[in-house]
């Protein structure tokens, strides 16, 4: 009979570095990435836990720029999940920095409307 291994649990302290934090668009990207994994993935912030697989939960976690939180994954692919989500946060921050380094792009002369 093959041995059944217990699911692994991995946690890591992460800091949000993009200017606007995990607002709607990056939160959606974060959730899409998290749902690719079979592990349970939780965000621990301010004494509460939020599912990393639900956009509403990620938004309720209020992960603003400079905020540090714990990402916890439990399951067969926990280590890969945490590593991949950490890399995604860096990618989101880099994209955010590059977007604002280029300055605003105007649409139809409206100052408050930016292009991606």
Three-state SS at 87: helix
Q: How many structural domains is the chain composed of?
A: 1
CB atoms within 10 A of CB 73: 27
Expressed as residue numbers, the domain containing 80 is 8-96
Residue 89 has pLDDT above 80, yes or no: yes
- Considering the domain boundaries, does residue 31 fall inside one? yes
Residue 113 has pLDDT above 50, yes or no: no
- Considering the domain boundaries, does residue 111 fall inside one? no
Residue 23 has pLDDT above 80, yes or no: yes
- Considering the domain boundaries, does residue 102 fall inside one? no
- Considering the domain boundaries, does residue 116 fall inside one? no
Domain at 63, CATH number:
3.30.1340.10
- Considering the domain boundaries, does residue 87 fall inside one? yes
- Considering the domain boundaries, does residue 101 fall inside one? no
Q: What is the pLDDT of residues 73-86, one digit of tens each?
A: 999 999 999 999 99
CA distances from 86 to 33, 76, 80 (A): 11, 18, 10
- Considering the domain boundaries, does residue 54 fall inside one? yes
Contact between residue 45 and residue 63 where contact means Cβ atoms under 8 Å apart: yes
Contact between residue 73 and residue 82 where contact means Cβ atoms under 8 Å apart: yes
23 is catalytic: yes
Contact between residue 9 and residue 76 where contact means Cβ atoms under 8 Å apart: no
- Considering the domain boundaries, does residue 108 fall inside one? no
Give the chain's count of helices (H) and strands (E): 3, 4
CA distances from 101 to 8, 19, 97, 115 (A): 40, 11, 6, 13
């Amino acid at each position: 009979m093959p041995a059944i291994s217990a699911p692994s649990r991995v946690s890591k302290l992460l800091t949000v570095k993009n200017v606007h934090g995990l607002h709607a668009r990056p939160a959606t990207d974060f959730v899409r990435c998290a749902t690719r994994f079979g592990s349970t993935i939780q965000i621990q912030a301010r004494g509460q836990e939020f599912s990393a697989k639900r956009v509403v939960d990620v938004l309720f976690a209020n992960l603003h720029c400079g905020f540090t939180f714990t990402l916890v994954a439990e399951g067969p692919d926990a280590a890969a999940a945490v590593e991949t989500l950490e890399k995604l946060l860096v990618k989101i921050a880099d994209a955010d920095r590059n977007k604002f380094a280029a300055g605003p792009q105007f649409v139809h002369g409206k100052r408050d409307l930016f292009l991606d």
